[in-house]
A and B are shown apart, each in its own frame.
Chain A
């Protein structure tokens, strides 16, 4: 206790010299503290990309690991750069007609007077922090798609799709709410993006998975479902824990300041919903099979996180647990449902991000402590985002399919996208020729025009 007081005093003393109040009543110290939290939150959201990369490579087969990681690497790069070029000013166009606005290319406004003072955002953060935090979000929406289309989509087609999607679709849709557009004016509520980020990514994932068709071997000759288990459950588990950690920044940063009461409430509801999501999935899956499924439990945690995201700041702890539990049930049912209707989603991205994103958004209308949030308006938001995103994704995927093609050749898919698209392996286990002389074999293989293929236990 004494120690805590001393730390508190030391902190206050550090802030004292600059404690003079700024124009709008936010002290320079508070402004700094707010901004530091927002930058830290941006870092935590960045960490989610590590989570997605781990999760997706864990839940897919070893022969496609380089490919899925390459997509994850590309998305964060493309997401940040397109957000610099057009995204930020499409998503936050300032005063606009509510549907489509654009405040110009690049980040020049960051040098305007006042852009990095408390006047910019009530002292919550600077212009630069605003960009960074939002750019991390944009990349998150696009990376959701990669898991659902994994193991069969052409790399270049995916790269083109995700760049266009993150630059224009996510941002224009986002401006309707977070840019102060028509849904915001209507009273639609989405705190940190159950709809704006997760459902938007999920809808695109659904369109992509549907247009691609199932992976070879997922449905047998007699049409029977044949599961294709992931290659590395420890990696998948680590990915989910990283995502959980990153979510503290995703939701906690969405307070848009370090407001002590609100930020800590958001972290509590986020954490409770994640835990309840895991338990919800465990319970609901116990009705499907007597043997607990780790991938379902992991997806349950993510389901709870996606579910709480729309209303993390307007929920009581009990509501957060309820939302998480139900999300955990939804994700299990949704995975089984999509398997049944032959939409092949290797990592369960559609079930986690779309199904639970919709649930979380609607749950605001049911559980919010703010009486202004209504189920009807939440539903309007869900439908508007669904319609717009599905239409855009279908057009982009459709044009790509007609021009450059969407799916790799069957032979490439069987061989694995790592070899077919990249000419390399993710794990030495597969590529290694073991104790033999590497250089000699490689030379021989090239001269003979024969590709060395693996014969490890992972081979199909």
Chain B
């Protein structure tokens, strides 16, 4: 099993969800997060004075799939969340040692497939 974590621009969530659903992915976990990469923060202005906002709002998607699907998920996400502008985000892929479906007690690949 692999876990795909993607940090994306918030307004790309709908695109990402549609693309993942079309690719047959059945579960996504989404969290609102803040952070910065090479993009750094941005400048805002309030009553005539500028100030830096260091941490920008982003979304983090987490998807756990069987090994064979990992490449597909990564490709679909990279395509759906691409704007070509700085701040598009990153995708991280890591190994997951086990999973349990709480309702049935299924373990391993069975826990993340239908």
Give the CA-CA distance A220 to B108 in the complex, in Å: 52
Say yes or no: A293 contacts B47, CB within 8 Å.
Answer: yes
Is B11 interfacial (CB 8 A cutoff)? no
Give the CA-CA distance A295 to B47 in the complex, in Å: 7
Q: Can you list 16 A-B pairs with a CB-CB distance of less than 8 A?
A: A226-B51, A227-B46, A227-B47, A227-B49, A227-B51, A229-B44, A285-B48, A289-B45, A293-B45, A293-B46, A296-B47, A335-B47, A335-B48, A336-B47, A339-B48, A457-B34
How many inter-chain contacts with C-beta < 8 Å in the A-B complex? Answer: 36
Q: Nearest chain B CB to A6's CB is how many angstroms away?
A: 52
- Residues facing B in A280-339 (CB within 8 A) are 285, 288-289, 291, 293, 295-296, 332, 335-336, 339
- Residues facing B in A330-385 (CB within 8 A) are 332, 335-336, 339, 348
B46 CB contacts on chain A under 8 angstroms: 227-229, 293, 295
Give the CA-CA distance A295 to B44 in the complex, in Å: 14
Q: Nearest chain B CB to A430's CB is how many angstroms away?
A: 15
Give the CA-CA distance A15 to B44 in the complex, in Å: 60
Give the CA-CA distance A395 to B57 in the complex, in Å: 47
- Residues facing A in B22-61 (CB within 8 A) are 32, 34, 44-49, 51, 57
CB 8 Å contact bits of B1-38 with A (1 = contact, 0 = none): 00000000000000000000000000000001010000
Say yes or no: B48 contacts A336, CB within 8 Å.
Answer: yes
Give the CA-CA distance A305 to B9 in the complex, in Å: 43
CB 8 Å contact bits of B81-114 with A (1 = contact, 0 = none): 0000000000000000000000000000000000
CB 8 Å contact bits of A422-460 with B (1 = contact, 0 = none): 000000000000000000000000000000000001000
Is A225 interfacial (CB 8 A cutoff)? yes
Say yes or no: B34 contacts A225, CB within 8 Å.
Answer: no
B51 CB contacts on chain A under 8 angstroms: 226-227
> Max chain A CB contacts within 10 Å: which of B32, B44, B51, B57?
B51
Question: Can you name the residue of chain A whose Cβ is closest to the Cβ of B32?
Answer: A457
Say yes or no: B49 contacts A339, CB within 8 Å.
Answer: yes
Interface size class of B (residues with CB under 8 A): 10 to 19
B57 CB contacts on chain A under 8 angstroms: 457
Say yes or no: A225 contacts B45, CB within 8 Å.
Answer: no
Q: Nearest chain B CB to A379's CB is how many angstroms away?
A: 29
Question: Can you name the residue of chain A whose Cβ is closest to the Cβ of B52?
Answer: A226
Instruction: Across the A-B interface, give the 8 residue pairs with the lowest CB-CB distance, nearest first.
Output: A227-B46, A288-B48, A229-B46, A227-B49, A225-B49, A227-B51, A226-B51, A336-B48
Give the CA-CA distance A336 to B46 in the complex, in Å: 11
B45 CB contacts on chain A under 8 angstroms: 227, 289, 291, 293
Give the CA-CA distance A289 to B46 in the complex, in Å: 10
Q: Can you name 11 extra interface pairs (CB under 8 A) apart from A227-B46, A227-B51?
A: A226-B49, A226-B51, A229-B44, A285-B48, A288-B48, A291-B45, A293-B48, A335-B47, A336-B48, A339-B49, A457-B57
Q: Nearest chain B CB to A351's CB is how many angstroms away?
A: 10
Q: Nearest chain A CB to B67's CB is how many angstroms away?
A: 32
Q: Which residue from A226, A228, A229, A289 sits with its C-beta under 8 Å from B48? A: A289
Give the CA-CA distance A229 to B43 in the complex, in Å: 13
> Max chain A CB contacts within 10 Å: which of B32, B34, B45?
B45
CB 8 Å contact bits of A222-238 with B (1 = contact, 0 = none): 00011111000000000
Give the CA-CA distance A348 to B46 in the complex, in Å: 12
Q: Nearest chain B CB to A27's CB is how many angstroms away?
A: 53
> Max chain A CB contacts within 10 Å: which of B32, B45, B46, B57?
B46
Give the CA-CA distance A348 to B48 in the complex, in Å: 13
B48 CB contacts on chain A under 8 angstroms: 285, 288-289, 293, 296, 332, 335-336, 339
Give the CA-CA distance A332 to B57 in the complex, in Å: 31
A336 CB contacts on chain B under 8 angstroms: 47-48
Say yes or no: A339 contacts B32, CB within 8 Å.
Answer: no
